[in-house]
Amino acid sequence: MEEELLKLLEKNCRLTDEQISRMLGKEQGDLRCMMQKLEDDKVILAYKAIVDWDKVEHESVNALIELKITPQRDQGFDRVAKKIYNYPEVESLYLMSGGYDLCVQLRGKTMKEVAYFVARKLAVMDEVVSTATHFVLKKYKDTGVIFESATADERGNMA
Confidence of residue 91 (pLDDT cuts 50, 70, 90): very high
Confidence of residue 156 (pLDDT cuts 50, 70, 90): low
Using CB atoms within 10 Å of the CB of residue 104, give its burial: 0 to 12 exposed, 13 to 18 middle, 19+ buried: buried
Three-state secondary structure call for residue 144: coil
Domain ranges of the chain: 2-40, 53-141
Whether residue 153 has pLDDT greater than 60: no
Task: Tally DSSP H helices, then E strands, for the chain.
Answer: 5, 6
Class of domain 53-141: alpha beta
Whether residue 11 has pLDDT greater than 70: yes
The pLDDT tens digits for 63-80 are 999 999 998 888 889 999
Q: Strand 128-135 and strand 145-146: pairing?
A: unpaired
The pLDDT tens digits for 14-30 are 889 899 999 999 999 98
Position with higher pLDDT, 74 vs 120: 120
User: What is this structure's pTM?
Assistant: 0.74
Q: Are 53 and 60 in contact (CB under 8 A)?
A: yes
The residues near 135 (Cβ < 8 Å, ≥ 6 apart) are 61, 62, 63, 111, 114
Q: Strand 141-142 and strand 90-95: pairing?
A: unpaired
Q: How far apart are CA 14 and CA 105, in angstroms?
A: 26
Whether residue 151 has pLDDT greater than 70: no
Output the pLDDT for position 154: 58
Q: Are 60 and 107 in contact (CB under 8 A)?
A: yes
Kindly provide the residue ranges of all beta strands, DSSP E only, lying in the chain, ordered along the sequence: 61-69, 90-95, 102-108, 128-135, 141-142, 145-146
